[in-house]
Chains A and B, each alone.
Chain A
Amino acid sequence: MGSDLDRQIQTLLQCKIITEAEVKELCLKAREILVEESNVQRVDAPVTVCGDIHGQFHDLKKLFEVGGECPKTNYLFMGDFVDRGHHSVETFLLLLALKVRYPDRITLIRGNHESRQITKVYGFYDECFQKFGSANVWRYCCEIFDYLSLSAIIDDRIFCVHGGLSPSINTLDQIRTIDRMQEVPHNGAMCDLLWSDPDPDSCQGWGLSPRGAGFLFGESVAKPFLHNNGLELIARAHQLVMEGYKLMFDDTVVTVWSAPNYCYRCGNVAAILEIDSQLNKSYTIFRDSERNSLNSRMTPQREGPPDYFL
């Protein structure tokens, strides 16, 4: 199996798909590893923290060039691997294969797009159907999504979650009590962690989110949470940032976005957050891969889900 896995990784690195049977087996192996992980998965520095990828495979490869190859560099991906981009399948399967091959060198936590309901609307379902001819691969992946951890903590000081905070959660221990192995609920703590946004303009603590799930939280909520849990930073993703990353609330909350030129048209840069063994933080910016920009200029039609936005 070891050489099989290495071969599959090489295939995926060329942006080619593996067979449905191989996907099924890969998912079974991944499940055994993920089921052991905590809702607040412990990660040791040094580690490079990344935000949304959204199926932009060639930009993920660019990310690895910029940040260093896995497993030489330790990685933590904060969810939203799929939907919107043209290569959600290759992107997620590559990350999953790397996780199975180097379980202690790469951590994957769940984003709001790692959900059956969301992937049916935002493209992953369609892409799976188109590339494999049935919904089976989508189903295997959705089952794996259920096993993904909800958050991570780096050296007990840096808390990483896809969306943000929840009015139902004051301590990290409360997150640990959540039964996470299910479809993302429509409301409640697990939903909030994956859907909430910080609101720099907020003068109240909590507000309902314009997204229709999760909450908006202000500085008056974030700072006590950090203090009560002995944290120095909350790193999260979930929102497009034109400059790649955005610090707020006196640099205690940062949004990291790792999909450059989002949807092949937004013109934004992407970022990764590199944390060294002393917990020093540095942000590296990168632009979209030339391969992507070439594609969007030349071909109006290509493989993948239909692009209404072209």
Chain B
Amino acid sequence: MNSEEYLQHREGLTTSHHDWSMIQVGKLVEGQTVVKVIDPNSYKGLTLVLPLPTCHSDANSSVEDACEVLLKHGISSAPVYDAQRNTYTGMFDYSDMMSYILLSLKKMDVPAEDQTIGMRELIERTNNSQNVPVKMISVAVMDPTGNLIGILSQSFVLDYLANHLSEFPQLQPVMQQSVEQLGLSGSKVLSVNGEAQVLDALLLMSKHSVTSLAVLDEQGVLLGNISMTDIQHIMKDLRSSWLWLSCFKFISNIRRKRGVETGEDQYPVMDVNLKSTFGYTIAKLQATKVHRLWVANDSGLVEGVVSLTDVFRVLSSLLDS
């Protein structure tokens, strides 16, 4: 929107929001604490700025240390701050790091006995001087003086919308439409067979610049989902040997682990039907806290996917009309 359009779109003084597009982002990131981790070596004086819920002391750390901090706090991306130019230059994305490691791994011939080495060592071994590409999946929220006050993630915004949906009647019509009607199915879905190795799945994700793949059986029936965030589980416990497991075994291990930690087991497949409504899909995304739901037909065959990005694409198209 240009500034003229913005002025016309003002909500005015109000104590309750009626226009969902006018919610201030600052409000959404209240409660986040921003802390800096200095990493002079690999990033040439650049720092990673991490939104952490608790205090964390600055550390003169290597890439390995930085990765450990990210993993420990379950953060998959962080803005990169250039102290010399006093500006934010982009986002360090966790999956970028993995791509870089994987490509190096595949090029290397890792003998079987080394397949159990810790991830720290793995990173050290693959630490060539290679540019890690940056891409945006989160938005840094700044205050008027240019200080970073928080990170706005898609999950955050979705959570807010889902909780306040009843306050925005203009969204009701789109909520009633089916996933099929909104064009969220029918496109080719990237997938991997359950018996393929995790390493191959990750390389496929990297090659196609996606963060997730459907895991299918021989008949094409959906078995589950493998994503870049699952890599956190490998790296968290420093078990690189999982890279060589079959995808089905790997995602089963993740499910089993999670079930013991939370005391409740989840359904292995996170999906909606072609005929499910958009509103139901959003509610399920919020309830299950997953980043995407596969769209399956009545036979369990996958026909599409609805990610958080797709949800926001649908919503922002409403703004344009």
Contacts and interface: CB of A to CB of B under 8 A. Distances in A.
B269 A212 contact: yes
Contact of A212 (B256, B283, B286, B288): B288
Interface in B153-211: none
B264 A240 contact: yes
A215 to B, nearest CB: 10
A211 to B, nearest CB: 5
Contacts of B263: 239-241, 262, 266
Contacts of A263: 260
Contact of B287 (A121, A207, A240): A207
A186 B267 contact: yes
Task: Tell me the interface secondary structure of chain A in the complex.
Answer: loop
B260 A266 contact: yes
Given A211-B264, A265-B260, A122 B252 contact: yes
Nearest to B251: A121
Given A209-B287, A210-B289, A308 B256 contact: yes
A244 B290 CA distance: 30
A174 interface: no
Nearest to A263: B260
A156 to B, nearest CB: 30
Interface in A260-274: 262-263, 265-266
Interface string A233-269: 0000011110000000000000000000011011000
B284 interface: yes
Contacts of B103: none
Interface of B: 224, 252-253, 255-257, 259-260, 263-271, 283-284, 286-290
14 contacts: A121-B224, A122-B256, A122-B259, A123-B256, A207-B287, A208-B283, A208-B286, A208-B288, A210-B266, A211-B265, A211-B288, A212-B266, A262-B260, A308-B256
Given A121-B268, A209-B288, 20 more contacts: A84-B259, A120-B252, A121-B224, A121-B256, A122-B265, A123-B256, A186-B267, A197-B264, A208-B283, A208-B287, A209-B287, A210-B264, A212-B266, A212-B269, A212-B284, A239-B263, A262-B263, A263-B260, A308-B256, A308-B257
